[in-house]
Amino acid sequence: MTSYFSHIAPIRYQGPASDEALAFRHYDKDRIVLGKTMAEHLRFAVCYWHTFCWNGLDPFGGGTFERPWFQGGSPMELARQKADAAFEFFEKLGAPYYCFHDRDVAPEGATPKESNENLLRLVDVLGEHQQRTGMKLLWGTANLFSHRRFMSGAATNPDPEIFGLAALQVRDAMDATMRLGGENYVLWGGREGYETLLNTDMGREFDQMGRFLNMVVEYKHRKGFKGTILLEPKPREPSKHQYDFDTATVYGFLARYGLEKEVKVNIEANHATLSGHSFEHEIATAAALGILGSIDMNRGDAQLGWDTDQFPHNVPELAIAVYHILQAGGLGSGGFNFDAKVRRQSIDAEDLFHGHVGGMDVCARALLMAEQMIVDGRLARHVADRYAGWDAAPARDILEGRVALDQLADSVLARNTDVAPRSGRQEYLENLVNRFNA
């Protein structure tokens, strides 16, 4: 097997004092944090698409990356080379998981049957690499947005024939995920939205999308897949109005179609900020609604209005997000997938390592900072104290439906006592967070 990264040594933990650029200074996978190792908490994954498929193009210029697996053979030969490169990278980086779209690992064929056969052959290749390296699949998914057939959506397409082609592709991608021991399956509706209401029947499209997702869940149970089905919210880009705008919107959709107990969310940091929310808001919302599943770890650029997919670098902000994940009991079968890409000027293969090493260290520092917040306990105690009145019997009776509106109003009138508000102490809490070490 050709070596693509022979000049890169395996990445090791060397501690905070290390001055080695390609070494972990904070991510010590075996370090115990709140009863679990860092590796168990973070469950890092490398995404196949940005890392091995993206060629550096943007809307104003062509590709800048000249990867060895981009040219010099047939599409299937190049797919095998890409798999070789990917697993060499995974091994040297030391991340335990990876994620892929079906079209990342195998090329589209001239017919649906040929596409399926291409995927099956590459699944065998990936399986052999997993067996050899011990790498695991965090999740698989189907690319239902790149091909021109999906320009008007996949599940929401006005043509039922294209709906059927999307179903075929998802079935095959789910089968591939199961064969490779994938722990989750993700659906991202990149084209599930509309450009203009002049040609759109939103009611039909909602129902189509609801039926499609129900079919996916039904298939999961028929096949005995034990993983979690995840839906990934995103507000816009490429569609002007996407139906999976944010976590709350997704929950409303799931509840309408009876899926709120079956499907969770895969939350991406950059998607959260594009929807006008913070990353921690989306995590806390998902936790409160019982649908927190997995994380796509990246960041956006506040001065740009699109999905820039940069590696994370702000430890204090990320620590708040990790704090909410820990408070929710963790991610279960989910993990931290780096849905991030190096900049198009970062053309050296070594830059792929710098991006991931830095991202993993940032997440590790955020985890340690979140651990301090939890051990300290003052944040949690403040929240508990703020809502303590609702734990008393009279308030519980209200929430549990034993008190009617007029009864409550009459009791307040009988007491005839005004109540002074209490400070939320936001500035104190912000200062408190800044005392923890990043």
Tell me the average pLDDT across 339-360: 97
Residue 2 has pLDDT above 80, yes or no: no
pLDDT at 305: 83
Instruction: Give the pLDDT confidence of 229-241 residue by residue, as tens digits.
Output: 999 999 988 888 9
From the candidates 41, 84, 102, 104, give the one annotated as an active-site residue: 104
Q: What is the distance between the alpha carbons of residues 79 and 73, in angstroms, rounded to a whole number?
A: 9
Give the whole-number percent of the chain exceeding pLDDT 90. Answer: 95
Residue of 137 and 238 predicted with greater confidence: 137
pLDDT at 1: 63
271 is catalytic: no
- What's the mean per-residue pLDDT of the chain? 96
CB 105 within 8 Å of CB 51? no
CB 297 within 8 Å of CB 312? yes
Instruction: Give the pLDDT confidence of 7-33 residue by residue, as tens digits.
Output: 999 999 999 999 999 999 999 999 999
**CA distances from residue 176 to 214, 224, 332 in whole angstroms, order as listed:** 20, 14, 22
Query: Is the bond leading into 233 cis (omega within 30 degrees of zero)?
Result: no
Tell me the average pLDDT across 58-73: 93
Provide the pLDDT confidence category of residue 350 given band limits of 50, 70 and 90: very high
Burial 127-159 (b: 16+ CB within 10 A, else e): eebbeeeebbbbbbbbbbbebeebebbbbbbee
The closest alpha carbon to 139, from 265, 6, 311, 4, belongs to: 265
From the candidates 26, 41, 50, 101, give the one annotated as an active-site residue: 101
Residue 250 has pLDDT above 70, yes or no: yes
Tell me the average pLDDT across 283-288: 98
Residue of 71 and 212 predicted with greater confidence: 212
- State pTM to two decimals: 0.96
Residue 438 has pLDDT above 90, yes or no: no
Count of alpha carbons within 13 Å of 213, Cβ hemisphere only? 30
CB 48 within 8 Å of CB 95? no
172 is catalytic: no
Provide the pLDDT confidence category of residue 306 given band limits of 50, 70 and 90: confident
Instruction: Give the pLDDT confidence of 207-218 residue by residue, as tens digits.
Output: 999 999 999 999
Q: What is the distance between the alpha carbons of residues 137 and 180, in angstroms, rounded to a whole number?
A: 7
Q: What is the distance between the alpha carbons of residues 260 and 255, in angstroms, rounded to a whole number?
A: 5
Tell me the average pLDDT across 371-375: 98
The closest alpha carbon to 318, from 292, 360, 280, belongs to: 280
